Chains A and B, each alone.
Chain A
Amino acid sequence: MLEYARWKYILVAGVLVLGLLFASPNFFGEDPALQIARKDHAAITPFETKDVETFLKDKKVHFDRSYVDKGRLMVRFSSVPDQLAARDAVNENTRYKDGYITALSFAPRTPEFLRALGLRPMPLGLDLRGGLFLLYQVDVNGAVGQALEGYAQDARRALSSANIPFKDVTTVAAGGGGQPNAVRIILPPEADAGAARSALNQAFQGLSVSTESLPSGSAIQAAMTPAQIKERQDYAIQQNITTLRNRVNELGVSEPIVQRQGIDRINVQLPGVQNSAEIKNLLGRVATLEFRLEDTQDNAVEAAQRGRAPLGAKLYTHTRIGRPILLKREIIATGDQLTNASVVQTPEGVGVGVRLDARAGENMLKTTKANLNKPMAVVLIEKRRETTEVNGKQVSRDVTDETVINDATIRGVFSTNFQITGLTAGEARDLALLLRSGSLATAIYVVEERAVGPSVGSENIEKGVNALIIGMVGVFAFMAIYYKIFGLVADLVLLANVVLLTALLSMMGASLSLPGIAGIILTVGMAVDANVLIYERIREEIRKGVSPQAAIRAGFEKAFSAIADSNITTLIAGVVLWVFGAGPIRGFAVVLTLGIATSMFTSLMGSRALITLMYGGRRKLARLPI
């Protein structure tokens, strides 16, 4: 008699049922769909759903059904032409154009009750679906530089208001590093270093401050600690991710992925996107605004000829009229202080309606009150990276373009709400989007770009699935021939293994790539190993003349340590690959690692339960079909 504890049977059965449930959404396939979301990110209401349905019916666009998923309306179609017709109809309608974003998408044909349980199929990776992959390098040192500039500005202000003279405030690399990490203030001999330090207390809070005597005067240096630098860099990346996410959402791409990769990279995956130029241009733009008063006392043309602005002013070029213009140094408001921006129609044409936060609004109110009938200008600041080849070496440098896009006389007093005019319709749309999605904390640059056509994706799926089916059929046939009934048991166990692996991957929301499919195929090949170890051991025991049931028990027990040790070594390789790999390689590593876990469970517990069930109770068992 062979026995296996009842709780183990229950465990195996329970895991299998759960596995089937979680894996099931993957077996239904998907339909073309149109995803409609509100621009203000609010959930779509049943009323709006009804409205869209009636609209599509009026337009005679045939759709299957619609439902709200994660606050967005999904309308499913049986064919791609219907899907495209529906998108065009919705996008051309003025009622929807302003408040909603549409995106072409695929909706799984998962039945309602599974979807209600929150079960979803594995999303397909870009190599299987087609789309655009962008890897951005974040200029984290630039972020630290910005923070230092902020400290330097605060220091200047603090010293001026305390009436302490100073020669120079610069950012320096303290401690021998290559990147600036400190602010250095040079004081003339007549200045009191002690008084300066206490005046700077507030501005340099948290920094490590030191004073130094120089041959002429003294120097105060305030360095950011490594922890502060890291915090600043992390903040810059987090903020850039948020901004990129906002921009991607504004563009109406369905199921985009925006995530951090490594220390200073952001990886953006846009399924289904084909036109990279336009999207890349919008995603990576570092644009912000500054509002300044115009300096009307000095002559801008003279300043431009001299190449130097007079004290308290800054020289710009006005893009519309192409002439130099002088603006005052004080900034009334910046792009960071915007709470909303949208395209508006004004009597003077298309413009961007801007709303400021309370603090900037107050400042704006004060300024406009005091400067009625004086001109104010809007400065657009854009950063980009220029790469040139110098003596065969690539040299990159950052370029900041600051241009005045608009200047107008202040006709009335205003605070938080006003409009920027003088833009073309396209410029207004892009500017509103950029301002609304928030500015990037620091510049980003594309370091890797991959565009996969949709036909490449479907071919890859076909090839992967074919290899999977043929590989599995081959293994199944071989096992059945070589180990007879026990081989069939192994086949069932392998099938269960694939189901469990699919279930785990779906639960994790891991996206499936071609290397991931290769991982599943390899798992099938390797999961056989545990069974082979057990069966060969059983055969060995039978050869020694042990009774069949004792042979089964000995086979499972003696094979255990070999199975455990050998799988753990493969697991080590899988985990390292998981940690070090990126993109599709990580997909492969995830599948490999999880596959080892599921195959240990299915072959040690699953196949033992099944074999005990089949042969454990038989009193007269002369031979095993192995």
Chain B
Amino acid sequence: MSLSRRHLLLSVVLPAALPALAQTPRRTLVQAMAIDDMISLDPAESFEISGGELIGNLYERLVQFDLDDPSKLSGQLAEGWTLGADGRSYDFRLREGLRFAAGSPLTAAEVVYSLQRAVRLNKTPAFILTQLGWDAGNVGAMVRQTGPLTLNISVHEAFAPSFVLNCLSSTVASIVDQRVVQAHPADWLRRNSAGSGPWRLRDWRAAEIVVLDRNEAYYGPKPQIERAIYSHVKESSMQRLMLVRGDVDVARNLSPQDILALKANNAQIKLTQVLKGTVYYISLNQKNPLLAKAEVREAFKWLVDYEALGATLIQGIGKPHQNFLPHGLLGASDEAPYKLDVARAKALLAKAGLPDGFKVTMDVRSTQPVQGIAEAFQQWAGRAGIQIEILPGDGKQTLTRYRARKHDIYIGDWGTDYWDPHSNADTFARNPDNSDRAAVQPLAWRNAWANAPLNREAEAALLERDTARRAALYERMQAQFRAESPFVMIYQQLQVAAVRAGVAGFRLGPTSDTTFLAPVTKTR
């Protein structure tokens, strides 16, 4: 294409030689999403939300749960499995004809390799597998190939089968192409993909763009879309403008006011949502003697105006929730005994010997909606005489302080790591070692809350194999938690995506790695 001088001049003067309404390229799905949290795409290492979504599309795992009913688990790479009589041994059979994107066959050997690799590397997400009783020393025996398409997985105790299977459905248990991984240097998998999923990683420019290309060698039904692009756009208003304009097909990080504004524009834009396994909470550091008093803990629970929050600050992006298990998980409770009751809070404070209230600080991340909620909470608490001084900070900064237990009050969130109630119970209710030198730092530890009975209940629930009984155990735990814990649970996250007309089959999953792009089709 030759360039004449006139062309050049014209283009500088008239950049509007653009079509009236922008359109994304055919067969390409463009999403506007904040992806600057991604650090690594190696399944054995990745723990961020954006990374999780990508890994969910690039790789596959032994089992998966049904998006319509997450309690139903089925085989993804596995055709089926049998559980041993002692409840500690699982025999998996793989499907036939499985292939990696690079072309080599996916057999039991690769499954064993992938699981062992994750355990041996022992990076952050490895705990999901090591909690099954595996470590670098014994994983060779615990996870072994028994035939070309069969393998045996042993776990340390007779855990509830749904627990074990859900662990195997998480991103850390993704199956990687052994041949490719071993042919490259150790950290190659961070920025490249070697999976069997319907997509391949084409390009990743940090805080800019991620491009997935269709896996042409996929053994299953190929996606209609040929290329999936995640474009980094931080601001919700920007995402909204781009969506309206047609420069993107899907917007993923919309704020309540942008969601409301888009709802009015119904013809071109559909909104889809899902309740995610992420809960937001306010926690009270028990190291602070005032906050350690039982009456004070309860008083705070009567100082949240759930109704107002649900109608304003978290409208469309969250549902008020008062339990540590997100709705949708086995045993999740929807009990909501608390509401704004300043008089009751004051009475409780008086009983604690603090009729005139007291002063306390609160670490708040400078992002929305957390900051807005904190400011509102500051006002409600103020009415009961509690003067909260907000200490704003950047997310990582406040997290550093939180983990060092230097805070008074903290407002944060927690996403379930795998779709089993033990994930949240393990962090909210269990605190085996409350000392400063503890090996792990669950949320209960960070707030210096040691509750031995609840520890035992959590451990017992993990080993309960009967589903109904297990659910009842968690219900009881949540009731106790509501009454005694230093956690004021606030809401459960609603993830929302705005999708342009002409895009069909886009569905958000309840976890970060279950938003699948393969079923998406574009009519334009």
- A and B assemble together: no
- Using CB atoms and an 8 Å cutoff, list the residues of chain B in contact with chain A: none
